[in-house]
Structure 1
Amino acid sequence: MVIDIHAHIYTDDMAPKAIASVKRRMGVRVPGLGTASDLKDSMAKAGVERSIILPLAPLPKHVRPANDFFLSAADVDGLVPFGAIHPFQGDLEEELDRLFASGVRGVKAVPFLQGFYPDDPRCDRLYEAVAERGMVLLLHAGKVPEDLPEFFGTPDRFARMAKRHPDLVVVLAHLGGWEMWSSVREYLIPAEENVYFDTAYISPSLTMEEACDLIRDIGADRVLFGTDYPWTDQAEEIEFVEGMDLSAREKRLILSENAKKILFR
C-alpha cells in the first residue's frame, strides 16, 4: 500500500493554465496534467492507493470556493481531500467545523503564498483550532523554484511554532524546508514529536543518497511519502524512496504506515 500525502489537482478548465504558468515562471518539468482523472490514472500506474489532494487559497475569500471544489472531487476509492485554510480568515473555526463534518481530517496553509510567518502569535488561533478538532495541519516549508523576495516558512520559525503548540500535529512539506535542509537539521530534527515531514518534490534537488541521509537523521517514523503531483511523477517518486538504503520496515513507514497513523486513526 502507498499513500501519497501531497498531491494537487485543479478543475479541468484551470489545470492547463496553472501548469503553463508554472512552466513559464519556474522553467520546471511538469509530468502530470493536474486533473482528477489524470491523477487517478497516475495512481493506477504507480500503485498508489490513496492520494491526499491539497487545495491552495491565497486570500481568505478563496478558502470556501477551493474547499467546495475539493469536497466535490473526493473519491471513496482514492482521492482524499484536505481543506484550504487561511490563518487570518474571520470564519476560521466555522470553516474547520464544516470541513470536519464532511470527513476532512487535515488542512493546508502556505506561508509564502498567504503572507504569514509561522511563528506569528496571530496564527495561534489557527493552530489551537486545528489541534482542538484533532485535525492535521500541512504547511509548505522552505523555498520554491522561483526567485521570490521572501519565503516566510523557514525551519527556525516552524521550530518555534511547534514548541508553542505541542498538541498540534503538523506535517512540514519538502522534508521541512525545500533547499533549506541544513536549517532543517539545525532547528527541526530536535523539534517536538508532533512534527512530521513529507518527501514532496525533493528529488529534483536532492540525490537519493542525500535524501536518505536526511531521512535517517530525522527518523523514518516521522517521514511521510509525498510527491507534489503534478509537478513530479508518482511512479518515479516511489522508485526514489524504494531505491534508498533503508530497511524494508523504514520504507513501509514512509510509504504508508505513518500516514495511516496520523490520518486514518
Structure 2
Amino acid sequence: MNKRENAGFPSEIEAALPDSRVYQMQKPSPMGIGRRVFSIHNHVGDLAPWPYYESEEAFSPADPGPSTTEELRSSMQARGIEKTLIIPNYGIPVQAQPFSHNELVVKLCGEGGDKVAGALWVSGLPQNRELTESALQLLGKPNIRALKMSYILGGTADPNKWDEQTLRQHEMIFRAAVEYDIPIQFHTSPGGGSDITGFFEMIKRYGKELKVHLVHMGGGTSGHIRLLSQWKDMVEGGYRVYLDTSWAIGFAVRKLLQELDRTGIGADRVMFGCDEPWSDFESEFWKVQGVKGVSDEIKERIFWGNAEEVYFKK
C-alpha cells in the first residue's frame, strides 16, 4: 500500500479538497507595528494533510490559510496589514491542488475592495495546459494583479532545458502576463528546478518584457549570494526584476537594504511579504524593521510604497 492510500486519499483531487477545516480567528498582535504595511505574499485556502517525506501518516505542517473574507480580514487586522496580495496555498504533490484555489482568490479579491489583490496559479508543465488555460481566462477579474508559478511540483526555470511543448506552455503564460502588464511571482529555493541560476537564464531571455518577481530573494544562502551579486547588473541592464524579503536569511536582507540605501539601484523593486501561514509575520517584519543604519525612506518603500506601485495602483 502506498503512502497516499495509507493516508486515506482515494484520489488526487480528494487529497486536495479536505472535507473539514479549522481556522483559528486571530486577535490583534500586542507587539505594536507602528508602520504602514502591505504584504505581497500571503496564502489562502486549505491544504490537505499529506504523508510528507519519511512520514507514514498524513499531517498538516502549517495552519490553513484564510478561506473567507472574514478570515482574511481577521488575519490582516491581527498583524496590522493594510493591504495584501493573496496566492493559492500549495505544498502537496498534487498538480490540480493549487489550481483549485484560483476561484477562491478571485472571490476574495472581489470582496476585498482596494485592500486585497491576487495572483492566479499557473504551471509551465504541459500536463497542466488545460488547467493553466482556464486560469488565464480569469485574468481581468477585479484585483487580479499577478500570476504565480513554482517548480517545486516539477519542471525547471531554465529555458535552455525546456522541450518544445514546455517552451510553448511558458510562452503562452508569459504573453498573457505581458498583455496584462502584471508580474509573475516565481518561488525560488536552492537546487533543483527552482534554483536561482535557472531564473538568471529566464531573465536574460524574457526579462526585458516580462515582469519577473523572485519570491524569497533567490532562496537560501547560495541563492541569496548569487542574487545579490547580479542585482545591480539586472536592474541597470533594463530587466524588469522584483524581489520580496519573505523567507530570506537575515544577512541577505541586511545587505540588500544597505545597498539600496547606498546606491538607490532597484530601490523601487523590493517589497515586503510575510508568507503566512508558512512563515510568520512578526519575524518577517522585524527582519526589515530591525536593520540598523538604513534610511526610513527605504523601509517605507519596502513595507508599502513599492507594493502600492507594483500591485495596488489602478
Q: Tell me the TM-score normalised to structure 2 length.
A: 0.68
Report the counterpart of residue 226 of structure 2 in structure 1.
183
Which of the numbers 74, 82, 86 marks the counterpart of 1:49?
A: 82
Structure with larger Rg: 2
Report the counterpart of residue 146 of structure 1 in structure 2.
none
- SS of the equivalent of 1:113 reads coil
What is the CA-CA distance between 1:97 and the residue it aligns to? 3.5
What is the CA-CA distance between 1:84 and the residue it aligns to? 0.6
Q: Which amino acid aligns with 1:164?
A: R
What is the CA–CA distance in structure 1 between the aligned matches of 2:246 and 2:181, rounded to whole Å? 24
Is 1:238 matched with 2:285? yes
- 1:79-130 deviations in whole A, cap 9, x for unaligned? 4321111123434455323232344121100012242334244423322221
Report the counterpart of residue 227 of structure 1 in structure 2.
274
- Aligned-pair RMSD on alpha carbons? 3.1
What does 1:128-167 align with in structure 2 at a 5 Å threshold? Answer: 128-143=175-190, 151-165=192-206, 166-167=208-209
Report the counterpart of residue 107 of structure 2 in structure 1.
72
Pair 210,61 (structure 1): closer, same or farther in 2 beyond 3 Å: closer
What is the CA–CA distance in structure 2 between the aligned matches of 1:118 and 1:254, rounded to whole Å? 28
Which of the numbers 116, 121, 137 marks the counterpart of 1:97?
A: 137
What is the CA-CA distance between 1:63 and the residue it aligns to? 5.9
What is the CA-CA distance between 1:235 and the residue it aligns to? 3.3
Which of the numbers 45, 53, 66 marks the counterpart of 1:35?
A: 66
What is the CA–CA distance in structure 2 between the aligned matches of 1:126 and 1:59, rounded to whole Å? 20
What is the CA–CA distance in structure 2 between the aligned matches of 1:6 and 1:56, rounded to whole Å? 11
Which residues of structure 1 form unaligned runs of 5+?
A: 144-149
Identity of aligned residues (%): 25
- The aligned length equals 248
- 1:199-221 deviations in whole A, cap 9, x for unaligned? 1112xxx23x5421134346432
Tell me: higher relative CO, structure 1 or 2? Use CA pairs within 8 A at least 6 residues apart.
1
Q: Which amino acid aligns with 2:108?
A: A
- SS of the equivalent of 2:227 reads helix
- 1:217-244 deviations in whole A, cap 9, x for unaligned? 4643221101111122223322221111
